[in-house]
Structure 1
Amino acid sequence: MPIFSYLAIPREGARETLCAQLSGLDHCQVIPADNQDVVVLVTDTPDEACEKRLQKRLKGLGSLQSLSLAFGYDEKKEQGGQ
C-alpha cells in the first residue's frame, strides 16, 4: 500500500481546476492551502500497479505546473518485499 504526499503547484489561475481534477481521481485526498497558491495531495493506492497508473494520470493534468514529493512510504518495501 504505497502512500505519498506531495506539494502540487497549479499553473497560474488554475488552482480551482487543479483541485477539481485531483479530487476526481481515485485514491487522492486534496488539501488546498489557506494562504498560498499550493495544494497538498495525499495518495493512498492499494498496490504498485495502481500507483503507476495514478502517476501517469497526474503527469497528464494540464492545470498542474509542478508536483514535489514530500513523503513516501511503501509497506512492502519496508518489510523486505518487492
Structure 2
Amino acid sequence: MPVKSYLAHPHEGKKHKLIEALSKFEQCEVVPAQNQDLVIIVTDTESNSEEDHLKEQIEAIDSLKLLAMVSGFNTPKKN
C-alpha cells in the first residue's frame, strides 16, 4: 500500500479552493499549513496504479500551482 506525502502550493488566493478540491478524495488527508500558503497532503492507496491515477487527478486541479512529493513508501501486502 503506497503512502506518500506531498506539499501542494496553490495559486495566489486559491488555498481554500485547493483544500476543498483535495478534501473530496477519500485517499487523501489534507492538512493546511497555518503560517504559509501551503497544503500538506498524505495519500494512502491500495496500489501503485491507484496512486498514479490519484496523482493525475490532483495535478488536474485548477487551483494547484505546484505539487512536490516529500516522501513515499510502499508496504507490501502479506498473503
In the superposition, the TM-score normalised over structure 2's length comes to 0.91
The aligned counterpart of 1:28 is 28
2:60 paired residue number: 60
Counterpart of 1:66, as a letter, is: L
Shift of the alpha carbon at 1:26?
2.2
Paired residues, what number? 76
CA distance in 2, matches of 1:48, 1:68: 17
Q: What is the one-letter code of the residue matched to 2:18?
A: L
Q: Give 4+ residue runs of structure 1 displaced > 4 Å after superposition.
A: none
Q: Secondary structure at the match of 1:18?
A: helix
| Structure 1 portions without partners, runs of 5+ | 77-82
Alignment root-mean-square deviation, CA:
0.8
Structure richer in helix, relative to its length:
1
Query: Gaps spanning 5+ residues in structure 2: where?
Result: none
One-letter code of the match for 2:12?
E
Q: TM-score, normalised by structure 1?
A: 0.88
Tell me the distance in 1 between the aligned counterparts of 2:69 and 2:37.
17
Counterpart amino acid of residue 32 in structure 2: P
